Amino acid sequence: MTRLAAVDLGASSGRVMLAELSGGLRLTEAHRFPNGPVRVAGRLHWDILGLYREILAGLRAAGPVSSIGVDSWAVDYGLLDESGALLGNPVHYRDDRTQGVAEQVAAQVGAATLYETSGLQVLPFNTIYQLLADRLDGAATMLLIPDLIGYWLTGELGAEVTNASTTGLLDVRTRAWALPLAERLGLPAGLFPPLRQPGDHAGDLRPDVAAEIGWSAPVRAVASHDTASAVAAVPASGPAFAYISCGTWSLAGVELPGPVLTQESRAANFTNEAGVDGTVRYLRNVMGLWLLQECLRAWPGSDLRELLKAAAGERPFAAVVNPDEPVFLPPGDMPARIAAECRRTGQRPPSSPAAFTRCVLESLALGHRLAVRQAMELSGREVEVVHLVGGGSRNELLCQLTADACELPVVAGPAEATTFGNVLVQARAAGLVSDLEEMRSLVAASEPLRRYEPSGDGAAWREAAARL
């Protein structure tokens, strides 16, 4: 039996998962911990040292393993000085410091040039905009969150390519740092560490780390952007699939052998991010279950299971909103913002938590529909099935609404897709699996999956889509 550890940091929680491979693949949770923003002097930060402390506790609980992999959300980073010391707590991507920066960069460089270089969807929190809003005095190296954790574990500097592709500073064709673009924007070339590929050796645990947790092991670069790991674990049996990695965000698109850099793709705000084995994750970010998570924070004591049951009985399409409206991005009173958006668009706001929940899930399903259909149209990829993975795959109502909205079958699961992708890249590096196809077959054989067939009134979904 081979034991592997996956450190998986999400935007609302983190965990250390233990994987055991012996014919099949079994996951157990060694340690879970909360992750949330901390506001200090008006700025929203991550508690990165607290996360690192919990990671060490999780590795200690997991016990000796053959290797460790680290993945997390994208775009955020820490800055190190010449001595390797962290200059400050990483800023949270939902902070407002980048307001107006994307427009300034587009005016300086040109939106078409930016897209031709990085292939990225314009999002205000992309790393390129955060760096330009940051104070870089004394900064010698930028490390994205998984690479920063890996540096503290091993003492080795590097940047894993799938996460680097979310920065806006990686050349989408060559998969090398776009140094001419960085220098044109006044960003020092020295900020960007050497690139690593999924499966590369990232270093061995430092002696002090090994002493603290009681054992030692190598650290492997995995597909360290959590969505890249999740897509690597999509249990598809062929290329004719779309995926939705659904959690705080929904990342919806198709897997391609190369980028799509057309004017139409840029106008539709689609992104080309690096995947495992040279693949491209051609997708668009949809706001995701963040809307429902923030609603639940506004309804203390609400039971999600009961809310979903009640929402299933609410009148369809009473109100729908565009989940990607910028007003929904920051934390705060989400029901009030949804109600205001309904009034702005001439709709009666929902009148109960169940009605708000129905509004959110139908709106999210419509966001999934638009992203999947546009990905098919812009890429030319035929899609026969949608694989919905991540925490959202447990939400039966959302899965059925997504099948109805997309007018395609939805296969839900695994919920732990990111962890599966993380450990399977490690397993392949150890010679235990051979390729992406075998990795996906192992996931399909190890996890129960549920299929949702489209039902209901397709014309009603088309009318609702037209309202948006």
String of DSSP letters for 309-352: HHHHTSPTTS----TT-GGGSSSS-HHHHHHHHHHHTT-PPP-S
Pairing mode of beta strands 241-246, 385-389: parallel
pLDDT for res 333: 97
pLDDT for res 412: 98
pLDDT for res 24: 85
**Integer Cα distance of 439 and 202 in angstroms:** 21
pLDDT for res 370: 97
- Do residues 377 and 423 touch, judged by C-beta distance below 8 A? no
Cβ-based neighbour number of residue 257 at 10 Å: 9
**Integer Cα distance of 145 and 137 in angstroms:** 20
Confidence of residue 249 (pLDDT cuts 50, 70, 90): very high
399-431 tens-digit pLDDT: 999 999 999 999 999 999 999 999 999 999 999
pLDDT for res 398: 98
Higher pLDDT: 12 or 314? It is 314
Q: Which residues are catalytic?
A: 226
**Integer Cα distance of 337 and 357 in angstroms:** 14
pLDDT for res 293: 96
Summary mean pLDDT of the chain: 97
- What are 204's strand-pairing partners? 218
Q: How many residues are recorded in the chain?
A: 468
**Integer Cα distance of 44 and 76 in angstroms:** 12
- Do residues 426 and 4 touch, judged by C-beta distance below 8 A? yes
Confidence of residue 457 (pLDDT cuts 50, 70, 90): confident
Give the HSE-up count for residue 259: Cα atoms under 13 Å, Cβ half-sphere: 24
| % of the chain beyond a pLDDT of 90 | 97
Average pLDDT over residues 163-188: 98
256-287 tens-digit pLDDT: 999 999 999 999 999 999 999 999 999 999 99
Residue where the block lists tokens 């680097």: 164
231-242 tens-digit pLDDT: 999 999 999 999
Given a cut of 90, is residue 188 above it in pLDDT?
yes
Cβ-based neighbour number of residue 224 at 10 Å: 31
The one-letter code for the residue type at 7 is V
Contacts of residue 267, defined as CB under 8 A and 6 or more positions apart, other chains included, come to none
CA torsion sign for 391, 394, 398, 403 is positive
The token pair that represents 139 in the structure block: 């900064």
20-79 tens-digit pLDDT: 998 789 999 999 999 989 999 999 999 999 999 999 999 999 999 999 999 999 999 999
112-146 tens-digit pLDDT: 999 999 999 999 999 999 999 999 999 999 999 99
Chain mean position to CA 281: 11
**Integer Cα distance of 347 and 359 in angstroms:** 11
| % of the chain beyond a pLDDT of 70 | 100
Inter-axis angle of helices 353-379 and 334-344, to 10 degrees?
A: 70
Pick from 128, 120, 73, 169: nearest CA to 282: 120
The token pair that represents 347 in the structure block: 């709709």
Given a cut of 90, is residue 372 above it in pLDDT?
yes
pLDDT for res 468: 85
Pick from 453, 423, 15, 384: nearest CA to 223: 423
The token pair that represents 124 in the structure block: 């205000």
